[in-house]
Every structure is written in C-alpha cells, then in structure tokens.
Amino acid sequence: MHEGTGFTPVQAAGDGRAHGFSTRAIHAGQEPDPLTGAVVPPIYATSTYKQDGVGGLRGGYEYSRSGNPTRTALEECLASLEGGVQGFAFASGLAAEDAILRALLEPGGHVVIPDDAYGGTFRLFDKVATRWGLGYSAAPITDLAAVEAAMREDTRMVWIETPTNPLLNIADIEQLADLAHRRGALVVVDNTFASPYLQQPLALGADVVVHSTTKYVGGHSDVVGGAVVVRDKEIAEKIAFHHNAMGAVAGPFDAFLTLRGIKTLGVRMDRHCDNAEAVAEFLAAHGKVAEVRYPGLSTHPGHDVAGKQMKRYGGMVAFRHKDGEQAAVDVCARTEVFTLGESLGGVESLIEHPGRMTHASAAGSALEVPGDLVRLSVGIEDVDDLLADLRRALG
C-alpha cells in the first residue's frame, strides 16, 4: 500500500506552528509531482501499474481499486483537514456510510440515529441495513436524555448529524461522544453540512467522520463523492479492508475535481456564512415566514452549542412558510437566482422543498419533515441579488 507524502496536520510550519487550515487544504497530500514538478497532482487514469518483477511495486500501487495516486492525494488532504489518522475517498456519501456500517458493525448490532437525518441516510438504515441484520432507533439527538433512553444493551454506534438536514438542529458532539463511549458505542458524525472548516468532530471525541464530498468539500456541484476519516489505526484498518473489498472507491477524475474544490474551502465557507447570515436575518423579519431554522440566530435552540463547536454557522438555512405546504412549494418554483434543485454546498444558491424532494423517502416515518418547510443552500453570489430574489419569490 502507498505510504503517502507525510504532509500531516502536525507537521510544523517554519516558525514551529502547525500549518493552518487553508495551507493544508492547498498542500496536504499535494506535493509537486516528483517526475515533472507539476504543482497540481495529475489525474492518474490507470487501472493497473507495471511491476518490476513479481511484487516489485514502484510507488506502492498495484491496482486502482486498492489505491490510486490522485485518490491518495485527496485522502491525505481529507485526513489532514479533519485531524484524523487516515482518510478514504468513496464514490458517494452513501457508499461511505454503507462501508462504515459494514466495516464497524456486526449483524445483530443496534444504532441510534437522529430523528432528522438526511433522507438517504434514513433509507440506508431502514431499507438496507435492517435487511442485513442491523437494528436502529431514531432519537432527537439534541436531547442527551432521549439518546440515552434510545440506547440498548446491543447499541454499538451513535450516528450524529450536525447541523441536521434539513432542520438545522444542533447536536452536542462532545456530550454525545462521552455518553456513547461510556456505553461502549462508537460515534460517527456526518460533517457534511459544516465541512471541516467549520467543525472538526474527531477533536470533539468522535471516532469517525463521514462526508458527502458532493457538497461543500467539492463545492462546485460537478462531482459526486464521499469520504470517511477516522481517529485511530484500528478503525482505519477495518475501513481500509472494506474500502477495497467492497470497492465503492472514488475514481481519479472525481478525486481530482474534489481536490480542486477543496483548495478554496476556507474562502468559500466564509462567504457562504456571510450570505447565509444575511438571508436568515432577512427571513426572520419577513411577514410570510413562520420560523427560520439557522443556528446563527440567537433564537435557534442550538445557538450556544453551535457557537461552542463550530467556527461559524454554515451556509444552510431552512424556513417554514406561514401559509402552509402549497405556499412553500410555490416559493420554490418562483425564485430565479436560487435554482430549484436537490443537493447543496455548491457555489450557486439552491432552493428545494424537502418534504417532496430530498426527504420524500422519510414520509410516514419518525423522520418526516414539515410540509411547509423550504430549504436553502445559500451560495456565494452577491448577497443583494439573493435577498432580492427571495423578496420577489415570497411576495
């Protein structure tokens, strides 16, 4: 297996400091190409590698499902940004989630999941993992006592998403990790909404971080991908085995695009946060809006916890329309700068109706979302254009 370039989060800058976030986003895993000096890691579009005699691997690579240099660059960068011992790049966020369940749990195990998680995560637990012998209970992860009550003798994992999709609830990672570890369960945090720029769950006690890199990490709505970053070597070995054995790996072209996006993560996230704060304040003062869900508002129930564990409050905003479901659907159809579409975290602003779109698979379950809810992925366009668009669409 390839050993990596050694640009780790603990490597000191010249003056003895650890490198900052954006320095690592641009350089970790991305040493200039030793052959040509190319400053951007090349796309190694190869399935296999010539061996110098049987077993004589030149760069540690033998077959691109097991390892590919473009993917390695991305994996090292992800590990550095999340502060983990190893990162793994997958074909999608859900492929990454599936690998975590199979690598770290046995049939018969039980998982506590958030009662407002991404709909696809819920579907994975409800329709796939249960058939494979895993049980789950959905609990409000903002409520420590409720999570404790949902835990059983056979609970092996607590699955956290924070901020949650789509209601932007905030879970206290440190407290939940303490609780789960006391009861012998692992802690997984889906860090997709925050990105490692705003929140680093491993430093707060989580064992595993998972991402849909399709979102903020890639950041340009041009690639689907997933990532897992882990706290220790033992977990890393299990994920590495399943990464290769199940094979849902990121291809070199996708790894290249994701790595290209990651370099600007810090500057993009700051602009997303600036714009989302302005949008949340605008909505909070609008007569047609019943409730704004944004952790940056002091009225948000998770505001203090978010302030403690996040650098800023993120680019996602959700709101409930005063006039009900049809009015919410109509707003989604009326915006012009906000594009009606699923997904999130790209430079362009998106709007959607979770109940009929991203979270339709949770209908009728504990994870069903309110029909009057609209979700915004606030992009990095000029904020005045975003506010004018929403003003027009809300009427």
Ligand X SMILES: Cc1ncc(COP(=O)(O)O)c(C=O)c1O
**Complex with ligand X: residue 210 or 394, whichever CB lies closer:** 210
Burial grade of 80 (CB within 10 A; 0-12, 13-18, 19 or more): buried
**Minimum gap (Å) between residue 289 Cβ and ligand X:** 23
Contacts of 151 (CB under 8 A, 6+ apart): 112, 158, 179, 180, 183, 185
What 3-state class would DSSP assign to 3? coil
**Minimum gap (Å) between residue 120 Cβ and ligand X:** 5
| Interaction residues for ligand X, span 110-129 (CB under 6 A) | 118, 120-121
- C-alpha span between 224 and 243 (Å, rounded): 17
Structure tokens at 243: 């990464």
Active site residue 65: yes
**Complex with ligand X: residue 29 or 163, whichever CB lies closer:** 163
258 binds ligand X (CB under 6 A): no
250 binds ligand X (CB under 6 A): no
Are the C-beta atoms of residues 243 and 63 closer than 8 Å to each other?
A: no
214 binds ligand X (CB under 6 A): yes
User: Looking at the DSSP assignment, which residues form a beta bridge with residue 319?
Assistant: 292, 374
- Dihedral sign, CA of 87, 90, 93, 98? negative
- C-alpha span between 394 and 198 (Å, rounded): 30
Q: Which of 44, 61, 118, 197 is catalytic?
A: 118
Active site residue 190: yes
User: Looking at the DSSP assignment, which residues form a beta bridge with residue 136?
Assistant: 111
**Complex with ligand X: residue 212 or 335, whichever CB lies closer:** 212
309 binds ligand X (CB under 6 A): no
| Interaction residues for ligand X, span 58-97 (CB under 6 A) | 92-94
H or E stretch covering 157: strand 155-161
Active site residue 143: no
Q: Which of 215, 268, 271, 375 is catalytic?
A: 215
Q: Residues 163-202: x/- map of binding to ligand X (CB under 6 A)?
A: --x------------------------x-xx---------
161 binds ligand X (CB under 6 A): yes
Active site residue 118: yes
Q: What residues line the site for ligand X (CB under 6 A)?
A: 92-94, 118, 120-121, 161, 165, 190, 192-193, 212, 214, 224, 226
Q: Which residues belong to the active site?
A: 65, 118, 190, 215
